Amino acid sequence: MLTINRMNWTTVGAVAALAMASTVACSSSGDDSSSKVDAAVADANAADATAVDASHAEDASTALDASSADSTATDAISTGPVLTVLNFKNWCSVAINGATGSTDATVTASVTSGSTATIVATPASSSFVIGMDPWFGVTENDGGAAAGMDVGTGTTETSTATVVVTGNQCVSVCCQFPNNTPVPCPTTNPCP
């Protein structure tokens, strides 16, 4: 809509310049009146072409910027490995690389290949605690059941584990009921 308005104003300006040139030609005497008309028309056409070119350049630039932004967003979504954390029965709140914690059964994040991802688990509610070995598939204990780095006690305890990203990866974590009953955490990695 902005382009149409500019083009309409440019056309109005060109018509006004042409009318002015005609008036100048009619009121002038001598042989140079036709050259004044030609010069006025040429100036009006040049102004019209410049405005249209600028309008198209701005539209093209805006379109290219939007296209680049869409491409960047798509690249960010489609590139890089994905880290998946299986949250056993949603009993933990899981945060990957400082993101907001989630109690979803599956928590994912795009990560950079070769980087070390940090995962923090806290009990999802006061009904749960961090157990002895809540992690599977993390760097600690070479992927086997691992304790992680625990801070605090009881329902406010956090457990932090890391994983070196080598591609799409899956790790799992389980917060538990006190004493790991009535439903115990898995003893093997539930990741596929």
Tens of pLDDT, residue by residue over 143-161, are 889 999 999 988 789 999 9
Alpha helices in the chain (DSSP H): 2-27, 33-78
- Give the bridge partners for 19, in sequence order: none
Strands 116-123 and 149-151: unpaired
101, burial (CB in 10 Å: exposed 0-12, middle 13-18, buried 19+): middle
Asked if 79 contacts 112 with a C-beta cutoff of 8 angstroms, the reply is no
Assess contact for 137 and 143: CB atoms under 8 A.
yes
Alpha-carbon distance 49 to 39, whole Å? Answer: 15
Backbone angles phi, psi at 82, to 5 degrees: -115, 130
DSSP secondary structure code for residue 31 in this structure: T
Would you say residue 172 has pLDDT above 80?
A: yes
Amino acid at residue number 88: F
Measured between alpha carbons, how far is residue 73 from residues 79, 107, 147, 168 in Å?
10, 21, 37, 20
Per-residue model confidence as pLDDT tens digits over 115-140: 999 999 999 999 999 988 999 999 99
Residue with token string 């795009």: 110
* pTM summary value: 0.59
Please write the tens of the pLDDT for every residue from 47-93: 444 444 444 444 444 444 444 444 333 344 557 899 999 999 999 99
